[in-house]
Structure 1
């Protein structure tokens, strides 16, 4: 199927404005790998009324000589555009030559793009920022050209550009942070690619969230083509996994190891693996699991903090109204769907395929993927509620972020667990929600348990805040049949599924 550039309309407009105004710029764009930083710049350049010349360098995690050599290759690739007479690729040997060349390009109106800029925070490349600062100071106030620096590791980009001790401190003229596609864009992608089943929306989002490159790979590998008769029992998620990880080309097979694992070492990887099999879980549960594998338990908290603050691969969750980061009730889960799915479901299948038939390996993936989807569906609902509320649509107007509630009782019989606690302070409405991957799991037993947990929660100090408020009970599933919805609605429950969110978010403007 064909592919096009999706979404990012606000970001595109900002870049077009930046590229057409009569001033030099130094723009930093941050976001996880594969989120579309380079594609966004390329789309902006290609859609300008007047073409801009550009040179692109993906910085290797190497040494000075290699970086300069790769930059020379980039200049030679850009030569057909007509390099300035003052630029001689053959004369570049050191970082000082490279930065002077960047200055010459900018003064000639060129745009220089440095991808993976965070690698300049490495000791072996640390001379570059000071040399670039000297050139930036000369270019500041100019009327042409510009430099984009793109990076995927937040803390290292911050250290290079925002730390007061950094040579490039206060030099950035423009900033942009790219997040995942929103659901409006995802629903457009699904519509264009013929993905119509809500279960497939969950399966694909659970694997790739809103990362453009992964969906483009799906299109190029035929994942969105109609299924063969032998594949009818498979959902889009399993079909994508088979095509992207188990086929002859397998374009994503090395993605996890070359992206995540190259940046991480030892204990950090072990924590992610432990977390992938029992998330979300509390600090004590995770630290005890870590202690069973490693004797150096004192460093556990440091490794966990690095995963949260530096790499942003783990998120710390708090129950509703709990603000303290050190709360004993905090839970942790992997914040990236692709990484969580890889560690929990796909990697075990890939390993099994080396010694077992493919069909058996895919069965292992399918079983583990079902558990993974149970976890990510709750997260998906929270994000859908937030986006719908932000756009002024949907059936609940939020005044705070959507979270849940859980406690840590000594007696397991006193456990309280509520998936969704959504609050509208203005209208004094609170919604309690239960999320299930299948409508059949919203049965009499689970609904009774849901009610008991709400009742117990309302007796807590947190729950008593909602005395006198309007209380709603909502059940969430990827899809509700008409009969199931009718039966649950008659018992006083709101039923919300993915087609409901699709209808709200994709409703045509009047």
Structure 2
């Protein structure tokens, strides 16, 4: 699993340090930290959604076991500061990890002030690296990551662990075709937990994921109920977005929520990484969309088929599969857009987005403002013969002439499934050096 950059960042820490690792549920924070720790001296505690006293007692018990110090488990601690101070003293040097601190914060927020006291007054005098993590982003942003949080400026490292990009799926299912991997990516994105659960084929994986007790059946409820005490309004907004209502006014109309409330919900969901704004180039407009792959798949394909999955699993599975075929082309556009950002930013193409004018639309446009060049990519989730390729290219040039301002020199790329002139899924998975559609511009990609 490609986490070399994150491992290097953690390995660069030297004591005394305070580090924060955060990211969505299932993204691999615990595995990353376990790999980094290896055989180093460490106390690793997974927080519980419990009282302050329970967490203190359990952390003391865990430290007692890890350090071989029975006294730690017998002592009564009144604050996290006192407990961490004694652990650091007993360790001498080493690593302390409090995993999923968000659960502890939700159970009792005083843990934050006690943690701050330790970081401010005790940690600098120790030879310890303290790491806290959370996937409960709503409480963690307010308490630790927010600019107003006292802990925000104390961190030596703030590491946002993100899902893997599409090209890394080949490491998990090397025998699958690239198109099948992209379909799986449309379901669960690059979230390692789900990728590790994949079966021998896409069909078997979908059946397992959606079966009784399967990992995706109730995942939406788990994600939202962990973050929000009343997730109903958030769920309604996500459902509207998945159905194509992408402006605040539209979402307000379809959900019955007032526009101000919708705006606040969208801001919160955007902070959590569940929603994003898609930039429309050459305008001031932005369109909202579901960013989290699991939530997008759930609201796009599972929500409307839940009853059928319960009554007739086989038929429900067929309907979800049909819906997935509709969703995949959109995800393929996103993958192509990410590939363009990765490979063309080094050539000065710094602004990437969709472009729309009237009924005409360009899937991906990248702009080089300095050289006044525009790369326009038409994305097709289909096979194209040479003649079809030329027709698509000609039509893309026509649309570009209508949408892209004349000051830009336009270059066109086509993404499809088979033609050697196209950018294909297997090209995205492999080294970018293997696909150079333009000369001399592509040199150095």
Q: TM-score scaled to structure 1, two decimals?
A: 0.75
The answer as to 2:10 corresponding to 1:15 is: yes
Q: Secondary structure at the match of 2:7?
A: helix
Aligned to 1:113: 97
Aligned to 1:367: 322
The answer as to 2:119 corresponding to 1:136 is: yes
Give the conservation status (yes or no) of the 8 Å contact 2:282–2:355: no
Choose from 335, 351, 354 the match for 1:380.
335
Q: Secondary structure at the match of 2:21?
A: strand
The answer as to 2:319 corresponding to 1:319 is: no
- The 5 A counterparts of 1:20-31 are 21=14, 23-31=15-23
Distance 1:506 1:34 in 2: 32
Go from structure 1 to structure 2 and tell me whether the alpha carbon gap of 1:82 and 1:67 turns closer, same or farther (over 3 Å shift). closer
Aligned residues: 429
Give the conservation status (yes or no) of the 8 Å contact 1:105–1:111: no
Q: Alpha-carbon deviation of 1:495?
A: 2.0
Give the conservation status (yes or no) of the 8 Å contact 2:60–2:83: no
Give the conservation status (yes or no) of the 8 Å contact 1:245–1:350: no
Distance 2:427 2:158 in 1: 35
Gaps of 5+ in 1: 1-5, 228-235, 408-413, 486-493
Choose from 224, 227, 232 the match for 1:260.
224
CA deviations over 1:409-454 (Å, ceiling 9, x no partner): xxxxx42211111223455432222212222696898767645432
Q: Alpha-carbon deviation of 1:361?
A: 0.9
Aligned to 2:411: 472
Distance 1:163 1:378 in 2: 33
Distance 1:385 1:187 in 2: 20
Give the conservation status (yes or no) of the 8 Å contact 2:95–2:128: yes
Go from structure 1 to structure 2 and tell me whether the alpha carbon gap of 1:166 and 1:423 turns closer, same or farther (over 3 Å shift). closer
Go from structure 1 to structure 2 and tell me whether the alpha carbon gap of 1:65 and 1:184 turns closer, same or farther (over 3 Å shift). same
The answer as to 2:189 corresponding to 1:209 is: yes
Go from structure 1 to structure 2 and tell me whether the alpha carbon gap of 1:437 and 1:69 turns closer, same or farther (over 3 Å shift). farther
Give the conservation status (yes or no) of the 8 Å contact 1:29–1:149: yes
CA deviations over 1:279-335 (Å, ceiling 9, x no partner): 6x33333332223xx5x4552222222222x3221111121244xxxx4x3211001
Give the conservation status (yes or no) of the 8 Å contact 1:386–1:398: no
Aligned to 1:161: 144
The answer as to 2:83 corresponding to 1:101 is: yes
Q: TM-score scaled to structure 2, two decimals?
A: 0.85
Q: Alpha-carbon deviation of 1:249?
A: 5.5
Go from structure 1 to structure 2 and tell me whether the alpha carbon gap of 1:334 and 1:165 turns closer, same or farther (over 3 Å shift). closer
CA deviations over 1:319-357 (Å, ceiling 9, x no partner): 1244xxxx4x3211001111100111134444322111x
The answer as to 2:367 corresponding to 1:423 is: yes
Distance 1:297 1:162 in 2: 27
Distance 1:444 1:174 in 2: 50
Give the conservation status (yes or no) of the 8 Å contact 2:350–2:368: yes
Q: Alpha-carbon deviation of 1:276?
A: 1.0
Aligned to 1:410: none
Go from structure 1 to structure 2 and tell me whether the alpha carbon gap of 1:55 and 1:143 turns closer, same or farther (over 3 Å shift). closer
Distance 1:111 1:211 in 2: 26
The answer as to 2:438 corresponding to 1:454 is: no
Distance 1:381 1:372 in 2: 15
The answer as to 2:441 corresponding to 1:504 is: no
Go from structure 1 to structure 2 and tell me whether the alpha carbon gap of 1:502 and 1:366 turns closer, same or farther (over 3 Å shift). same
CA deviations over 1:368-417 (Å, ceiling 9, x no partner): 11121122111111012222335x6xxxx45213211014xxxxxx4221
Distance 2:433 2:303 in 1: 35
Aligned to 1:232: none
